[in-house]
Amino acid sequence: MNPRIPAVLSLMLLLPAAAAAQASAGMALGRLHYDGGGDWYANPSSLPNLARAIRAGTRLPVESREVVVRLTDEQLWSVPFLHATGHGNLSLGEPERSALRRWLGQGGFLHVSDNYGLDESFRREMAKLFPDQPLRPVPLDHPVYHLVYELPAGVPKIHEHDGKPAEGLGVFLDGRLAVFYDYQADLGDGWEDIEVHRDPPAKHEAALQMGVNLFAYAVGFAGVGR
């Protein structure tokens, strides 16, 4: 067992599968449905594949199907992990920013994967959401790179965009990583059915391992409540 795994998560990983399922029934991967014109629905096979990888690599129970969530939906409060991606504009209104700020502050975890084109609008929205908490590099010794799988080089680079290296950036709230942004990495594409982008199997596997670590971290620190 990796010593970096938080105590609560460590217990979950060691529980028999049936007991773990009873302890955390209903955990689901959420997909953010946002406005602004971006294709929030991109990479349709990504989250089901990630769910399978989570079940294969841990004993954490996770639903097979993703849950599509708007930030003003009550359903937001039932998911510990929210994923957003797309190629275009992401726009949040004040009610959505308020709900997201509160959800993150109470233990929620947002993962955003730049699918090439989302970067400018996402950074704009993050600056509005947390003006005093800018995105910053997630250190390579952070648990998201080590919880279940060892990824000592950080977030894997799946697709080339502008010839830039992959970056894992984050927003930290009271020391907890609450937002993880993979930039120039394309994790969402890497999670898709391998024949969609014809990625090498090693890249596909590395992308899924990073996703498993992200979900494990989200669940280990999840305390979402009203």
Domain chopping of the chain, boundaries: 7-221
What confidence score (pLDDT) does residue 222 get? Answer: 55
**What is the rounded distance in angstroms from the CA atom of residue 32 to the CA atom of residue 37?**
13
Q: First and final CA of the chain: distance in angstroms?
A: 33
Secondary structure (3-state) at 186? coil
- Is the predicted pLDDT of residue 161 greater than 80, yes or no? no
Please give the CATH number for the structural domain made up of 7-221: 3.40.50.12140
Q: Which of 21-30, 67-76, 179-188 has the lowest mean pLDDT?
A: 21-30
CA dist 170 → 4, 22, 94, 146, 174 (Å) = 19, 31, 21, 16, 13
**Buried b or exposed e, range 152-161, using 16+ CB within 10 angstroms:** eebbbbbbeb
pTM above 0.85, yes or no: yes
